[in-house]
């Protein structure tokens, strides 16, 4: 697809080139060896590099990825962080690191909703909630607080903001987007960059950090909302919609931009020279550095993790190469020597790195441990106040019949639902780990759950709040607040084929129904990373609040839900939807301005106390699909998300809960366990888990996901047993033993499989006899580096 740079918007950074600085950089570059230059353009991840290696390979920057901590300790203290960073920094300024000039390293972290990788940090609402606040000044203050907390750990660089304009809410990163509307994204991008980096006299001073506008470009407009997918929008739309935030980010002085995993018309962004260089660097005048995304270069045809001149020549200045950086270092040196990478390109990249380091003060600053703001407390009351304010502003009221809200503070309130006292659910993905799905109360010192916030608000006024996740009670409450929604996910792990609620959809509805049946009025609070089809829940509840992913300050919700002593609201609802809300689970993409726009709640919708409204019953869609957690195929006796079980054979048989047999294989409800399927082989055959359409597991296979199976072996196999995924079979007989079995096989072990289109999802087959109960089948993250069977 041809690109016409002069049709693109121009930007103008307020920083500008400083001739004296540029001259100094020229002198430094002239004194650097080839090895030193290459080191500056590599960014490894802490788990795969030591301080000694930073010195020996002249490494220019390091990142800590999600779920990566000093000594692997999730509960690491501030001091553990600064000690660790100091030791790497010290290595980078050792005389042997860069022989002629001291070039300290920079440290980057995904501080995307506060300094979220660090225990005790202030956690802001994710971007989707902030979009509903329509308040750029709030974004400026959030950026400033985030910068202060990043500074406390001695780091220099936040991989934020995400300024994607999410156009299809199936996307697992919808919550990282402020809005489907480029106008909001554009207003916010500049404001948050100013907050993070400072402005004018405060630009990148001791209180501020480098910001990263990400992911350039088109991450939010991919086909079917697929993460790392392919955007097929026109050049005009790409430049007007997707690029809107980049213009204001650069206008605000953004110093780094991260390239996107995604493609535009089939070309990976990491190889798109026209967009990275001709548009971003030339047309928009971006003079900072382009950082690659996590191993993203390896996805370019012709590239590997450790070899990718294509990306570098296209304009990526710093490789995000967590693991294979050493081999990449060797290959780059060779490629510059052979001319495959022009020396001018390498020197341009190094110039950009050094320019950013000079502007950020990194060249002259003391080590991280000695900087004025290092070890300043994080999660302080004044920081949390900003987050609490952000929570108040981001709530969108979708229904409030008979003015059930606000609740008088003398009321007796039942706080029910899985999300009631669940800060992990409030915080979502990118929280202390990549997926954020392994957190509990111990991970959130100083934070407030929604329940705690409500309790604090009512107790002072003589009311009471009782926590009851399952909705049971002995004394009938005046009102129940039911908190439910999505459990945490990040990136492609959150992709869906629809906009249904996949987690506890039926359970949340049943809870609202049972409270209603017992005569208790209900306020439903939805925690979610995207607008969801939840009309049945909205119909059951008397009031309904979309709270998105509010973060660590649950009391912000109570500020709005609970009235003052005089019965009047203390704060009104101010949030207005920055994403259109669907009326059917399959209604996506759904964006304001599109033809036949027919949302349940339109872009900009949001009720308030000031203007009460009665909401009529909403239309409900009858669905035959069991919506369950993403990546779960069979659990608790149910097949989820459109997957089912098939007995393979000349004429395959579907299992639907009643005994079926092909002669060779029988499937039936297990007499031993009501939540298992009993599978008995008498002869050659296979059983498959499959959906109507093939599954795309390419990102799961490329990342770190594995097939997880739980089964019980009543009678072991008489012949070899195969597990087949994507046409590749692995012998699993040796892994089976009598009794309970649980095994996990990383997807990449199915070497050679076509993960783009996997159908069936998996097949279990044998030629002999075998008798098992299948209990659970799903995909899980390979956190502990599980190896391939037999390896
Ligand atoms: C994400 C980026 C993130 C990077 C570094 C990637 O997988 O796409 O948003 O900044 O990881 O952790
Ligand atoms: C990292 C993330 C990264 C992801 C990609 C994780 O281990 O922490 O930052 O985005 O891997 O696979």
Tens of pLDDT, residues 543-582: 999 999 999 999 999 999 999 999 999 999 999 999 999 9
**What span, in angstroms and rounded, lies between the C-alpha atoms of 355 and 17?**
9
Instruction: Compute, in angstroms, the gap from residue 513 CA to the centroid of ligand 2.
Output: 40
In this prediction, residue 193 has a pLDDT band, given cuts at 50, 70 and 90, of very high
Q: What percent of the chain has pLDDT over 90?
A: 95
Is the Cβ–Cβ distance between 227 and 173 less than 8 Å?
A: yes
Task: Name which residue sits closest to atom 6 of ligand 1, judged by CA.
Answer: 294
Neighbouring residues of 564: CB distance < 8 A, sequence distance ≥ 6:
409, 570
The reply to whether ligand 2 has any atom less than 6 angstroms from the CB of 367 is no
Q: Report which bound ligand comes closest to the CA of 67.
A: 2
Range 15-29 average pLDDT: 98
Is the Cβ–Cβ distance between 119 and 443 less than 8 Å?
A: yes
Say what angle helices 136-152 and 381-394 make with each other, to 10 degrees.
Answer: 150
Instruction: Compute, in angstroms, the gap from residue 214 CA to the centroid of ligand 1.
Output: 9
Q: Report which bound ligand comes closest to the CA of 270.
A: 1
Element (H, E) at 42: strand 42-43
Beta partners for residue 706, in sequence order: 746, 780
Mutation choice for ligand 1 from 159, 160, 432, CB with most ligand atoms inside 8 A: 159
**SS3 of residue 389 by DSSP:** helix
Tens of pLDDT, residues 710-762: 999 999 999 999 999 999 999 999 999 999 999 999 999 999 999 999 999 99
The residue among 341, 346, 304 whose CA lies nearest residue 324 is 304
Task: Name which residue sits closest to atom 7 of ligand 1, judged by CA.
Answer: 294
DSSP 585: T
Question: Sheet holding 256-259: strands in order across?
Answer: 212-216, 256-259, 289-291
Q: What pLDDT is stored for residue 710 in this prediction? A: 98
In this prediction, residue 596 has a pLDDT band, given cuts at 50, 70 and 90, of very high
**What span, in angstroms and rounded, lies between the C-alpha atoms of 685 and 664?**
6
Neighbouring residues of 64: CB distance < 8 A, sequence distance ≥ 6:
45, 46, 107, 108, 109, 117
Q: What pLDDT is stored for residue 702 in this prediction? A: 79
In this prediction, residue 651 has a pLDDT band, given cuts at 50, 70 and 90, of confident
CA 739 vs CA 22, 575, 713, 715: distances in Å: 69, 54, 5, 9
**What span, in angstroms and rounded, lies between the C-alpha atoms of 401 and 105?**
57
Helix extents (H) in 395-541: 423-427, 450-459, 505-517, 535-540
Mutation choice for ligand 1 from 62, 210, 258, 293, CB with most ligand atoms inside 8 A: 293
The reply to whether ligand 2 has any atom less than 6 angstroms from the CB of 436 is no
DSSP string, 50-72: -HHHHHHTT--EEEE-TT--GGG
Is the Cβ–Cβ distance between 74 and 178 less than 8 Å?
A: no
Neighbouring residues of 236: CB distance < 8 A, sequence distance ≥ 6:
7
Element (H, E) at 231: strand 230-231
> Which residues approach ligand 1 with their CB closer than 6 A?
65-66, 110, 159, 214, 293-294, 491
Instruction: Compute, in angstroms, the gap from residue 746 CA to the centroid of ligand 1.
Output: 21
The reply to whether ligand 2 has any atom less than 6 angstroms from the CB of 494 is no
Residue 791: pLDDT over 80: no
The reply to whether ligand 2 has any atom less than 6 angstroms from the CB of 703 is yes
Task: Name which residue sits closest to atom 11 of ligand 1, judged by CA.
Answer: 294
Average pLDDT, the chain: 97
- C-beta neighbour count of 664 within 10 angstroms: 18
- Supply the residues annotated as catalytic: 293, 491
Side-chain half-sphere exposure of 515, counting CA atoms within 13 A: 32
Q: Which atom of ligand 1 is nearest to the CA of 434?
A: 12
Q: Report which bound ligand comes closest to the CA of 176.
A: 1
Q: Return the sign of the alpha-carbon dihedral for residues 525, 531, 537, 540.
A: positive
Q: What is the pTM of this model?
A: 0.95
In this prediction, residue 9 has a pLDDT band, given cuts at 50, 70 and 90, of very high
Instruction: Compute, in angstroms, the gap from residue 499 CA to the centroid of ligand 1.
Output: 24
Element (H, E) at 396: strand 396-400
Q: What percent of the chain has pLDDT over 70?
A: 100
Residue 704: pLDDT over 90: no
Q: What pLDDT is stored for residue 1 in this prediction? A: 84
Q: Report which bound ligand comes closest to the CA of 69.
A: 2
The reply to whether ligand 2 has any atom less than 6 angstroms from the CB of 66 is yes
**What span, in angstroms and rounded, lies between the C-alpha atoms of 295 and 276?**
17
**What span, in angstroms and rounded, lies between the C-alpha atoms of 280 and 278?**
6
Residue 270: pLDDT over 90: yes
Q: What pLDDT is stored for residue 625 in this prediction? A: 86
**SS3 of residue 251 by DSSP:** helix
Residue 675: pLDDT over 90: yes
CA angle 641, 505, 431 (to 5 degrees): 90
Task: Name which residue sits closest to atom 9 of ligand 2, judged by CA.
Answer: 65
Which residue would you say has higher pLDDT here, 156 or 622?
156
DSSP string, 22-44: HHHHHHHHHH--HHHHHHHTEE-
Backbone φ/ψ region at 488: left (φ over 0), alpha (ψ -120 to 50), beta: beta
Tens of pLDDT, residues 468-502: 999 999 999 999 999 999 999 999 999 999 999 99
Instruction: Compute, in angstroms, the gap from residue 65 CA to the centroid of ligand 2.
Output: 6
């Amino acid at each position: 697809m041809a690109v016409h740079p002069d049709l693109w918007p121009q930007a103008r950074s307020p920083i500008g080139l400083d001739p004296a600085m540029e001259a100094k950089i020229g002198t430094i570059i002239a004194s650097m060896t080839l090895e030193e230059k290459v080191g500056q353009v590599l960014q490894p991840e802490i788990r795969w590099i030591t301080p000694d290696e930073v010195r020996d390979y002249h490494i220019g920057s390091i990142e800590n990825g999600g779920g990566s901590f000093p000594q692997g300790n999730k509960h690491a203290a501030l001091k553990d962080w600064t000690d660790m960073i100091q030791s790497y920094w010290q290595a980078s300024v050792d005389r042997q690191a860069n022989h002629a000039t001291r070039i300290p390293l920079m440290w980057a972290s995904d501080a995307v909703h506060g300094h979220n990788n660090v225990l005790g940090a202030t956690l802001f609402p994710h971007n989707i909630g902030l979009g509903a606040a329509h308040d750029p000044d709030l974004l400026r203050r959030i950026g400033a607080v985030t910068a202060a907390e990043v500074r406390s750990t001695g780091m220099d660089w936040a991989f934020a903001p995400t300024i994607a304009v999410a156009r299809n809410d199936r996307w697992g990163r919808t919550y990282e987007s402020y809005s489907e509307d480029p106008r909001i994204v554009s207003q916010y991008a500049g404001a948050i960059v100013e907050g993070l980096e400072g402005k004018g006299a405060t630009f990148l001073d001791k209180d501020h950090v480098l910001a990263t506008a990400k992911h350039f470009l088109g991450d939010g407009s991919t086909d079917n909302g697929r993460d790392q997918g392919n955007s097929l929008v026109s050049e005009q739309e790409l430049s007007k919609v997707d690029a809107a935030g980049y213009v204001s980010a650069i206008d605000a002085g953004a110093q780094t931009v991260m390239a996107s995993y995604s493609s535009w018309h089939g070309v990976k962004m990491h190889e798109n020279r026209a967009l990275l260089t001709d548009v971003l660097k030339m047309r928009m005048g971006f003079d900072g550095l382009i950082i690659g995304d996590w191993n993203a270069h390896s996805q370019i045809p012709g590239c590997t993790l450790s070899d990718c001149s294509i990306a570098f020549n296209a304009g990526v200045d710093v490789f995000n190469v967590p693991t294979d950086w050493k081999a990449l270092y060797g290959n780059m040196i060779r490629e510059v020597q052979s001319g495959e990478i022009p020396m001018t390109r390498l020197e341009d990249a190094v110039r950009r790195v050094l320019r950013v380091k000079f502007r950020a003060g990194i060249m002259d600053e003391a080590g991280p441990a000695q900087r004025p703001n290092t070890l300043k407390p994080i999660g302080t009351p004044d920081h949390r106040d900003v987050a609490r304010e952000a929570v108040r502003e981001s709530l969108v009221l979708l229904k409030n019949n008979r003015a059930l809200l606000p609740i008088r503070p003398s009321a007796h309130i039942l706080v029910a639902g899985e999300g009631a006292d669940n800060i992990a659910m409030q915080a979502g993905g990118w929280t202390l780990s990549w997926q954020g799905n392994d957190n509990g109360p111990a991970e959130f010192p100083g934070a407030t759950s929604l329940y705690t916030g409500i309790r604090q608000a009512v107790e002072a006024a003589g009311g009471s709040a009782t926590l009851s996740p399952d909705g049971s009670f002995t004394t009938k409450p005046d009102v129940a607040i039911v908190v439910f929604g999505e459990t945490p996910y990040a990136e492609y792990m959150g992709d869906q084929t629809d906009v249904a609620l996949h987690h506890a959809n039926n359970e949340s509805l049943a809870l609202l129904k049972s409270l209603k049946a017992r005569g208790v009025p209900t306020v439903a609070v939805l925690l979610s990373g995207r607008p969801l089809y939840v009309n049945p829940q909205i119909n059951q509840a008397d009031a309904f609040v979309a709270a998105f992913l509010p973060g660590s300050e649950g009391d912000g919700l109570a500020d709005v839900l609970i009235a003052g002593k005089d019965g009047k609201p203390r704060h009104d609802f101010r949030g207005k939807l920055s994403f259109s809300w669907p009326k059917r689970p399959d209604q996506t993409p759904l964006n304001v301005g599109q033809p036949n726009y027919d949302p349940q709640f339109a872009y900009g919708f949001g009720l308030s106390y000031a203007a009460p409204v009665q909401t009529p019953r909403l239309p409900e869609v009858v669905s035959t699909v069991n919506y369950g957690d993403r990546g779960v195929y069979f659990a608790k006796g149910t097949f989820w998300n459109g997957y089912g079980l098939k007995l393979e054979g000349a004429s395959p048989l579907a299992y639907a809960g009643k005994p079926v047999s092909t002669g060779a294989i029988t499937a039936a409800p297990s007499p031993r366990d009501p939540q298992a399927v009993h599978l008995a082989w008498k002869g050659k055959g296979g059983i498959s888990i499959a959906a109507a359409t093939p599954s795309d597991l390419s990102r799961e296979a490329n990342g770190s996901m594995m097939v997880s199976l739980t089964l019980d072996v009543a009678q072991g196999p008489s012949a070899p047993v195969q597990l087949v995924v994507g046409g590749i079979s692995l012998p699993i007989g040796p892994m089976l033993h009598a009794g309970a079995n649980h095994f996990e096989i990383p997807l990449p072990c199915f070497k050679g499989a076509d993960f783009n289109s996997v159908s069936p999802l998996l097949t279990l087959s044998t030629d002999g006899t075998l008798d098992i109960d299948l209990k659970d089948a799903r995909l899980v993250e390979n956190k502990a580096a599980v190896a391939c069977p037999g390896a």
